[in-house]
Chains A and B, each alone.
Chain A
Amino acid sequence: MEVSEGREILRTEGLSKRYGRIQAVSDMDLRVYDSEVYSFLGPNGSGKSTTVGMILGLVRPTRGRALVFGSDMATHPWPALRKIGAVIEAPAFYPYLSGYNNLKALAITLGGITNARIDEMLELVGLRDRGHDPYKTYSLGMKQRLGIASTLLRDPELIILDEPTNGLDPAGTREVRDLIPRLARQGRTVFLCSHLLHEVQAVSDRVAIVKRGRMVAQGTVAELLGSGQYLRMRAADNEALTHALAGVPFISAVERVDGFVRATAPVAKAAELNQALATLGIYVSELTPWEMDLESVFMELTGEEAEA
């Protein structure tokens, strides 16, 4: 998905957080632009929620700063918070109130939100029929839906969703997956924390991957996947093949893996490479373009198994 850098909505500069001897987040530099879907990926304990906490002004950075809509979130978060809808970690609501009354309590606090708007949000997330049941009776999926409704209640410009499809059934997951790009098309910016990498790949404009509190990659999905394109080949003499590949300009790395030679190169260059090798008298018996998906990139960068 191509993305053009528009107005900067969120920027972090050297954002760091230390809890005693534990460095939870180190020098996090994020840039999120208007109307894009920005995914923030990382294994459990990688500092995602702490970073989101700092972005929302809930957690004070040890060093660095988070600017949202130009407001420093550690010192003056209120102008920006009016434009943000967020569900951090799991959705959290008052268990004794119904879904409707939870949104009503939020609406009273925020001000300027009508009962019709509450109904509209419940309708949007498919909770209209259960809206007057106590929140404590909701399934995890219903709680997630209410969380999404609460983020949209104030018609925010920036939406922060932490694992929004957690607990949803396949139909619900698809609805959320469809909803996220729709929100971006409406001019909203979506900051999405998720483990579900194939979901992220489908909806994201840009992605950041974090590991142990540090960002290990940031870019468009195409950029990240582009760095994970290989040509896997085999010849009668793999030693000669390896030497020949070292001189090919568009190949950035060559390694021998399980009886194959793996060359890091754009998959579109497969035919050109085959021709070049033939002119050198090397005929490959097998040549396979191999493209990593986001999950493979994530696993390679973080050394973690992602959730399917």
Chain B
Amino acid sequence: MSIQRLMAGEFFKLRKRMMTWILAAIIVGLIILLYSILWSISGKAGGYFDRDLGRRVQYEELRRGIFLQAGVPFALQIIAQFGSLLAVIFAAGAAGSEYSWGTVRLMATASSGRLRLITARLIVVCVMVALGTLLAVVVALAYSAVITAYYGGADFSFITSEFLREQFLSWLRTVYVMAPFVALAFAAAVIGRSTLAGVGVGLAVSFLEPLIGSLMRLGGPRWENVPNYLISANRSVVLAQNKLPAGLPEFSFGPSKRDLERQGAFSPEAAAITLALYTVVFLLAAFIVYRRRDITSASMG
């Protein structure tokens, strides 16, 4: 039995599942909501001081951030921040629901191997997460086009091969930094045999790790470098490589490049390797447990 067939089965089930479409609707809704808020703010008078730019930014300038030229980078910021949380829920649901429904046994006896089955499921989850980010980017582009057209700026001269390449790399980086969270939620759902375990662990790490990291940085020389080895710091390093068009204020939900330099964060390459290591460790744990453990339900007697 080929892994493609197992993947087709997993894809069929996830495609038919309401949760998949609800999560897609949430990320699309978030994009529209945040773009609308920013559009609304940009219509006000006044401004704020941007430390990274070293000058005062007028609210009106923010509008340029949601114009077509910057639409994708801004959308990717939103996806990296909120999309990760949705991806955690999606991955945990895909792996954990099989246990609560008892279908884990049905599929285990229908597949050609436990490792193949869990690999197929993981691949499909990753592909669907990536598709979700693409959907969000497309929606952001469409909304940016509307905003740009509203202000009469139908100039597409910025679309060069370099621009497209940079947008593609930004998207890849964004999907890449989601990987450890997806892997963690997937592993926790498999090991904990429930969606709740996956969602709980995934969201707890997403929210608590940056908080704990910040506290550690206040803890003096003994602690301040520890957060550099955690997921969130390295995610920020990789995301900081996503470039905005020159002169635009930085719309970052995480620490700025300057903050990262001050904290002694890893280089982008080292950060990428650290994230890959986390991903591999989480997935290895899931695979080993799934392969070795009895597939039972609580009522099995």
C-alpha gap A105/B297 in the complex (Å): 21
Those of B280-294 within 8 Å (CB) of chain A: 292, 294
| A92 engages B110 (CB within 8 Å) | no
Query: Counting CB contacts under 8 A, is A60 at the interface?
Result: yes
C-alpha gap A60/B292 in the complex (Å): 8
| A92 engages B12 (CB within 8 Å) | no
Chain A, 61-102, contact with B by CB distance < 8 Å: what is the 0/1 string? 000000000000000001001101010111011111100010
| A105 engages B12 (CB within 8 Å) | yes
| B297 engages A89 (CB within 8 Å) | yes
Query: Counting CB contacts under 8 A, is A44 at the interface?
Result: yes
Query: Counting CB contacts under 8 A, is B153 at the interface?
Result: no
Given contacts A50-B300, A104-B12, contact A78 B112 (CB under 8 A): yes
| B12 engages A96 (CB within 8 Å) | no
Query: Counting CB contacts under 8 A, is B13 at the interface?
Result: yes
**CB contact between A108 and one of B5, B102, B113 (< 8 Å): that residue:** B5
| A93 engages B110 (CB within 8 Å) | no
Interface 9-mer from A51-59, A176-184, A274-282: A51-59
Most buried by B among A81, A84, A105: A105
* Interface band, chain B: 20 to 34
Query: Counting CB contacts under 8 A, is B301 at the interface?
Result: yes
* CB-nearest residue of chain A to B8: A108
Question: In whole Å, how far is A231's beta carbon from the nearest beta carbon of chain B?
Answer: 39
* CB-nearest residue of chain B to A106: B110
Query: Which residues of chain B are within 8 angstroms of A110 by Cβ–Cβ distance?
Result: 1, 5, 110
Query: Which residues of chain B are within 8 angstroms of A56 by Cβ–Cβ distance?
Result: 105, 109
Most buried by A among B8, B13, B112, B301: B301
C-alpha gap A105/B10 in the complex (Å): 8
Query: Counting CB contacts under 8 A, is A187 at the interface?
Result: no
Those of A129-169 within 8 Å (CB) of chain B: 150
Query: Which residues of chain A are within 8 angstroms of B111 by Cβ–Cβ distance?
Result: 109
Chain B, 257-301, contact with A by CB distance < 8 Å: what is the 0/1 string? 000000000000000000000000000000000001011110111
Query: Which residues of chain A are within 8 angstroms of B16 by Cβ–Cβ distance?
Result: 96-97, 101
* Interface band, chain A: 35 or more
Given contacts A81-B109, A97-B13, contact A58 B301 (CB under 8 A): no
Chain B, 1-25, contact with A by CB distance < 8 Å: what is the 0/1 string? 1100110110011001110000000
Query: Counting CB contacts under 8 A, is B107 at the interface?
Result: yes
Question: In whole Å, how far is A62's beta carbon from the nearest beta carbon of chain B?
Answer: 11
| A60 engages B102 (CB within 8 Å) | no
Given contacts A78-B113, A86-B109, contact A60 B294 (CB under 8 A): yes
C-alpha gap A58/B296 in the complex (Å): 7
| B296 engages A94 (CB within 8 Å) | no
Query: Counting CB contacts under 8 A, is B40 at the interface?
Result: no
C-alpha gap A49/B296 in the complex (Å): 9
| A105 engages B9 (CB within 8 Å) | yes
Question: In whole Å, how far is A82's beta carbon from the nearest beta carbon of chain B?
Answer: 8
Query: Counting CB contacts under 8 A, is A303 at the interface?
Result: no
- A–B Cβ pairs within 8 angstroms, 5 of them: A92-B102, A105-B12, A106-B9, A109-B9, A111-B2
Chain A residues in contact with chain B, CB under 8 A? 24, 44-50, 53, 56-60, 78, 81-82, 84, 86, 88-90, 92-97, 101, 104-106, 108-111, 150
Chain B residues in contact with chain A, CB under 8 A? 1-2, 5-6, 8-9, 12-13, 16-18, 101-103, 105-113, 292, 294-297, 299-301
Q: Which 8 A-B pairs have the closest CB atoms?
A: A92-B102, A109-B9, A58-B295, A108-B9, A59-B294, A45-B301, A49-B300, A111-B5
